Protein backbone atom coordinates (compact mmCIF):
# COMPACT_ATOMS: atom_id res chain seq x y z
CA UNK A 1 0.00 0.00 0.00
CA UNK A 2 1.53 3.28 -1.04
CA UNK A 3 0.96 6.72 0.43
CA UNK A 4 -0.94 7.75 -2.69
CA UNK A 5 -3.34 4.82 -2.35
CA UNK A 6 -4.17 5.59 1.26
CA UNK A 7 -4.49 9.31 0.67
CA UNK A 8 -2.10 9.77 3.57
CA UNK A 9 1.26 11.39 3.11
CA UNK A 10 0.27 13.90 0.47
CA UNK A 11 0.95 17.62 0.89
CA UNK A 12 3.34 17.09 3.74
CA UNK A 13 4.56 20.39 5.08
CA UNK A 14 6.66 19.69 8.15
CA UNK A 15 8.81 16.84 9.34
CA UNK A 16 6.43 16.48 12.26
CA UNK A 17 3.54 15.93 9.87
CA UNK A 18 5.59 13.59 7.76
CA UNK A 19 6.43 11.48 10.79
CA UNK A 20 2.83 11.41 11.93
CA UNK A 21 1.68 10.35 8.49
CA UNK A 22 4.29 7.61 8.27
CA UNK A 23 2.97 6.21 11.52
CA UNK A 24 -0.54 6.38 10.13
CA UNK A 25 0.52 4.36 7.08
CA UNK A 26 2.01 1.61 9.24
CA UNK A 27 -1.11 1.62 11.36
CA UNK A 28 -3.26 1.08 8.26
CA UNK A 29 -1.04 -1.83 7.25
CA UNK A 30 -1.48 -3.34 10.70
CA UNK A 31 -5.23 -2.97 10.47
CA UNK A 32 -5.10 -5.10 7.31
CA UNK A 33 -3.06 -7.71 9.21
CA UNK A 34 -5.59 -7.54 12.01
CA UNK A 35 -8.51 -8.13 9.65
CA UNK A 36 -6.70 -11.06 8.04
CA UNK A 37 -6.45 -12.68 11.47
CA UNK A 38 -10.21 -12.99 11.60
CA UNK A 39 -10.05 -15.37 8.67
CA UNK A 40 -7.49 -17.65 10.34
CA UNK A 41 -8.69 -20.56 12.42
CA UNK A 42 -7.24 -21.00 14.91
CA UNK A 43 -5.94 -17.49 15.37
CA UNK A 44 -2.29 -17.08 16.15
CA UNK A 45 -1.51 -16.54 19.83
CA UNK A 46 0.85 -13.76 18.82
CA UNK A 47 0.33 -11.84 15.61
CA UNK A 48 3.24 -10.25 13.73
CA UNK A 49 2.47 -6.55 13.41
CA UNK A 50 4.70 -3.92 11.82
CA UNK A 51 6.55 -1.46 14.04
CA UNK A 52 4.60 1.80 13.78
CA UNK A 53 7.55 4.13 14.33
CA UNK A 54 7.94 7.06 11.89
CA UNK A 55 11.05 5.60 10.24
CA UNK A 56 9.88 4.46 6.78
CA UNK A 57 12.90 2.18 6.45
CA UNK A 58 11.91 0.30 9.61
CA UNK A 59 10.17 -2.92 8.63
CA UNK A 60 10.63 -4.78 11.87
CA UNK A 61 7.91 -6.97 13.29
CA UNK A 62 6.39 -6.91 16.73
CA UNK A 63 4.63 -10.10 17.81
CA UNK A 64 1.65 -9.25 19.94
CA UNK A 65 -1.39 -10.97 21.34
CA UNK A 66 -4.46 -9.60 19.56
CA UNK A 67 -5.99 -8.22 22.74
CA UNK A 68 -2.88 -6.14 23.33
CA UNK A 69 -3.09 -4.76 19.80
CA UNK A 70 -6.79 -4.02 20.28
CA UNK A 71 -6.06 -2.13 23.49
CA UNK A 72 -3.66 0.15 21.62
CA UNK A 73 -6.10 0.68 18.72
CA UNK A 74 -8.72 1.83 21.19
CA UNK A 75 -6.80 5.12 21.40
CA UNK A 76 -6.39 7.13 18.20
CA UNK A 77 -3.18 8.80 19.43
CA UNK A 78 -1.42 5.58 20.39
CA UNK A 79 1.02 3.54 18.35
CA UNK A 80 2.88 0.33 18.98
CA UNK A 81 6.64 0.36 18.39
CA UNK A 82 9.71 -1.65 19.26
CA UNK A 83 11.73 -0.64 22.32
CA UNK A 84 14.21 1.99 21.13
CA UNK A 85 11.85 3.22 18.40
CA UNK A 86 9.92 5.62 20.65
CA UNK A 87 11.24 8.64 18.73
CA UNK A 88 10.94 10.89 21.75
CA UNK A 89 7.23 10.24 22.19
CA UNK A 90 5.53 9.67 25.53
CA UNK A 91 5.61 5.99 26.47
CA UNK A 92 2.32 4.95 28.08
CA UNK A 93 2.92 1.20 28.29
CA UNK A 94 5.90 -1.07 27.86
CA UNK A 95 6.63 -4.77 27.63
CA UNK A 96 9.76 -6.75 26.93
CA UNK A 97 9.39 -6.57 23.16
CA UNK A 98 7.10 -3.61 22.60
CA UNK A 99 6.31 -0.04 23.63
CA UNK A 100 3.06 1.88 23.36
CA UNK A 101 3.63 5.54 22.58
CA UNK A 102 1.16 8.40 22.65
CA UNK A 103 1.33 11.39 20.30
CA UNK A 104 0.34 14.91 21.26
CA UNK A 105 0.24 18.31 19.59
CA UNK A 106 0.16 18.36 15.80
CA UNK A 107 1.17 14.70 15.61
CA UNK A 108 -1.69 13.71 17.89
CA UNK A 109 -4.04 15.72 15.72
CA UNK A 110 -2.92 13.91 12.58
CA UNK A 111 -3.11 10.59 14.41
CA UNK A 112 -6.76 11.30 15.21
CA UNK A 113 -7.54 12.49 11.68
CA UNK A 114 -6.03 9.37 10.15
CA UNK A 115 -7.41 6.88 12.67
CA UNK A 116 -8.81 4.02 10.56
CA UNK A 117 -11.33 3.34 13.33
CA UNK A 118 -12.21 6.96 13.91
CA UNK A 119 -15.09 8.89 12.43
CA UNK A 120 -12.80 11.32 10.60
CA UNK A 121 -10.98 8.59 8.67
ZN1 LIG B 1 10.49 0.92 14.12
- d(Cα 52, Cα 58) in Å, to the nearest integer? 9
| Distance of CA 62 from the midpoint of ligand 1 (Å) | 9
Least Cα distance to 50 among 93, 9, 79 occurs for 79
| Distance of CA 87 from the midpoint of ligand 1 (Å) | 9
Task: State percent of the chain over pLDDT 90.
Answer: 69
| Distance of CA 51 from the midpoint of ligand 1 (Å) | 5
- The pLDDT of 103-112, averaged and rounded, is 95
| Distance of CA 83 from the midpoint of ligand 1 (Å) | 8
CB 79 within 8 A of CB 96: no
pTM score? 0.80
pLDDT at residue 115 greater than cutoff 50: yes
* Residue ranges per structural domain of the chain: 3-113
**Per-residue model confidence as pLDDT tens digits over 19-44:** 999 999 999 999 999 999 888 877 78
- d(Cα 98, Cα 121) in Å, to the nearest integer? 26
CB 19 within 8 A of CB 44: no
Amino acid sequence: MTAAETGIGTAVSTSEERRARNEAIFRQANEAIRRAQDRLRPMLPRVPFICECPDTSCRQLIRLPLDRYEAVRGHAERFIVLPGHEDGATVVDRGEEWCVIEKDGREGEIARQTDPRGEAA
